[in-house]
């Protein structure tokens, strides 16, 4: 904007404040946004949109006790349309970016959950395999203790082996493994028992446990090893 044009605009503003008939609302037109910015740079006014219209601005002068308002309307709306178009594009880009960030965050959370689940399963699987290997030793140890119980129960050696057996039981409990409780005469449960044979019995009814061959174990609610049993087929007829 030329120096002369700015002076003319400022003179028009000053004259509008003095005329009583335009004390409240004065309207001045400028050709583009640059002219408006240059003009406002020379004042202490406050700029705001007028009724949400980008092409119209309301200008308040804080130093003016009479509350005089100036309304500027851009004759050339090309800048305004460009701004609005850019704003819409930015809003769309922001929305797309927000959605992408949300998806990435959700995918990352799912990945973390899968990783934790996979890790827990791997640890559980490793513990289970180790426990099964230990059970082979433990089973033989129990059988040996049972075999010599009657003849050696009172000896120091047998008492020492009994203490070792109890320590192993504490170890398996500490690692969340529990022995499946079962006794002779209990009903056969295919979810926890494995029948390796059937024998007739005058003492137990059909499908009752006649003999326990090998103890079974669980890890929380998961079956690690079923109890190996011989089941009664009832009395021979």
CB atoms closer than 10 angstroms to residue 152: 14
Report the alpha-carbon distance of residue 114 to residue 120 in Å, rounded: 10
pLDDT digits (tens, 9 = 90+) for 205-235: 888 999 999 889 988 888 889 999 999 987 7
Instruction: List Cα–Cα distances, 211 to 199, 225, 231, in angstroms.
Output: 10, 17, 7
pLDDT at residue number 150: 78
Determine the Cα–Cα distance for residues 182 and 2; give it in Å rounded to an integer. Answer: 103
Separation of alpha carbons 152 and 159, rounded Å: 9
Residues in the chain: 237
pLDDT single digits (tens) 69-121: 555 555 555 555 666 677 777 888 888 888 888 888 888 888 888 888 888 77
Sheet with 177-179, side-by-side order of all strands: 177-179, 217-219, 222-225
| Category of 31 on φ-ψ map: left (φ > 0), alpha (ψ -120 to 50) or beta | alpha
Q: What is the dihedral of CA 93, 95, 99, 104, to 10 degrees?
A: 50
Which pLDDT value is given to residue 64?
Answer: 57
> Starting at the edge strand that comes first in sequence, how are the strands of the sheet with 53-60 ordered?
25-30, 69-74, 53-60, 46-50
CA angle 94, 95, 101 (to 5 degrees): 85
pLDDT confidence of residue 209 = 92
Radius of gyration (Cα) for the chain, nearest Å? Answer: 46
Helices (H), the chain: 3-18, 33-40, 78-152, 156-174
- Closest by CA to 131, choosing from 181, 180, 193, 175, is 175
Domain with CATH 2.30.22.10 in the chain: 177-237
Q: What is the CATH number of domain 177-237?
A: 2.30.22.10
Pairing of strands 193-199, 25-30: unpaired
Q: Quick: pLDDT tens for 124-159.
A: 778 788 888 888 888 888 888 888 887 887 888 888
Token pair listed for 150: 């009657």
Phi, psi of 18 (to 5 degrees): -85, -25
Residue 225 is encoded by which pair of tokens? 């090893």
Predicted local confidence at residue 93, as pLDDT: 84
- Give the pLDDT score at 194: 92
Write down the pTM of the prediction: 0.48
What proportion of the chain, given as a percentage, has pLDDT over 70? 63
């Amino acid at each position: 904007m030329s120096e002369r044009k700015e002076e003319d605009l400022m003179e028009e503003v000053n004259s509008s404040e003095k005329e009583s008939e335009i004390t409240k609302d004065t309207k001045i037109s400028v050709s583009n946004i640059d002219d408006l910015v240059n003009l406002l740079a020379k004042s202490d006014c406050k700029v705001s949109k007028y009724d949400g219209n980008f092409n119209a601005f309301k200008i308040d002068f804080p130093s003016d006790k009479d509350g005089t308002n100036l309304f500027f309307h851009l004759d050339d709306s090309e800048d305004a349309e460009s701004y609005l178009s850019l704003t819409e594009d930015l809003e769309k880009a922001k929305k797309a970016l927000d959605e992408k960030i949300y998806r990435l965050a959700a995918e990352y959370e799912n990945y973390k959950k899968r990783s934790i689940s996979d890790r827990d399963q791997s640890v559980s699987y490793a513990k289970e395999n180790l426990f099964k290997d230990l059970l082979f030793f433990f089973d033989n140890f129990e059988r040996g203790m049972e075999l010599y119980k009657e003849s050696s129960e009172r000896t120091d050696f047998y008492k020492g082996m009994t203490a070792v057996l109890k320590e192993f039981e504490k170890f398996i409990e500490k690692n969340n493994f529990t022995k499946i409780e079962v006794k002779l005469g209990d009903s056969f449960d295919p979810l926890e028992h494995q029948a390796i044979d059937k024998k007739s019995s005058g003492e137990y009814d059909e499908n009752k446990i006649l003999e326990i061959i090998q103890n079974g174990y669980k890890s929380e609610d998961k079956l690690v090893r079923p109890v190996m049993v011989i089941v009664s087929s009832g009395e021979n007829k």
